[in-house]
Amino acid sequence: MHKLVPIPNLLKHKEDDSLFIIGGGPSLTDFDWSILKNKNVLVLNRALEKVPNAIAVFWNDVTFHQNHQEELSKFGGVRISTTRYSLSHTCDCNIIWVKGNSYTSDMNGPIEESPYTIRQGSNTGYSALNVAYHLGAKTIYLLGYDMNLNEGKTNWPDGYKNEVPNNNRTRLNNIFIQQFNGVKKTYLEKGIKIYNLNVDSNLKEFETKAIEKVLA
């Protein structure tokens, strides 16, 4: 039996307990990644390619692990995953494996309190909020949480292959959005603020801010 490992509270003793989560939305296609230098960053999936100095990387996708073992081996931050594949097919690196409790509408809130567990939705961005909670973030900034199409693109990485037609992707985005309903209130009750840094995002659960103002 594989042993679960707790997600470490990396920000507990840091003066800056804010965290940027980098998703895959196409609004980041021409993003200037250098502005995140010296910031606390949690990268999701292929965002690892753009912010290799992030404090943590998180993925649910077996394919990501299969195709990025070299990048994961070189990564100097914490590696977190819910997929058992990441344990049985190591990348010559330590991986924190946590249990993902699948989302259902009758669950009692979007947060798993145990650092061995996260609330897992139908997209990595949803699950990443619970990861950020365990990492100790008190202010969370979302980048690439678009939930919409941009010139037909659903993701910013080059070579990303859409698995569904765009009209079906729009319906999936609506499902993703519904899962975030009520998340803001729950996190605020924990003393955690969440901001969406894409002012054009279809995800309206969180207050939007321009990243230029956040970094000013």
What does the alpha-carbon distance between residue 125 and residue 179 come to, in Å, rounded to a whole number? 11
* Nearest-5° Cα angle at 204, 203 to 205: 100
Angle of the 166-179 helix axis to the 124-135 helix axis, nearest 10: 30
Q: Are 184 and 131 in contact (CB under 8 A)?
A: no
Task: Give the confidence band of 87 by pLDDT, cuts at 50, 70, 90.
Answer: low
Look at residue 123 in the predicted model and tell me its pLDDT: 85
Look at residue 32 in the predicted model and tell me its pLDDT: 95
Among 144-158, 177-191, 202-216, the minimum mean pLDDT is found in 144-158
Name the residue among 112, 98, 116, 135 with its Cα closest to residue 9: 135
Strands (E), the chain: 18-22, 41-44, 56-59, 78-81, 96-97, 99-102, 117-120, 139-143, 193-196, 207-208
Q: Left (φ > 0), alpha (ψ -120 to 50) or beta: where does 48 sit?
A: alpha
What does the alpha-carbon distance between residue 155 and residue 144 come to, in Å, rounded to a whole number? 8
Phi, psi (rounded to 5 degrees) for 33? -65, -20
Cβ within 8 Å of residue 204, ≥6 positions away: 177
Phi, psi (rounded to 5 degrees) for 95? -125, 130
For the chain, give every domain's residue range: 18-215
Whether the predicted pLDDT of 201 surpasses 70: yes
What does the alpha-carbon distance between residue 118 and residue 100 come to, in Å, rounded to a whole number? 5
Whether the predicted pLDDT of 164 surpasses 80: no
Look at residue 1 in the predicted model and tell me its pLDDT: 41
What does the alpha-carbon distance between residue 137 and residue 8 come to, in Å, rounded to a whole number? 11
Domain covering 18-215 assigned CATH 3.30.1330 in the classification: no
Q: What is the mean pLDDT of the chain?
A: 85
Give the CA diameter of the chain: 48
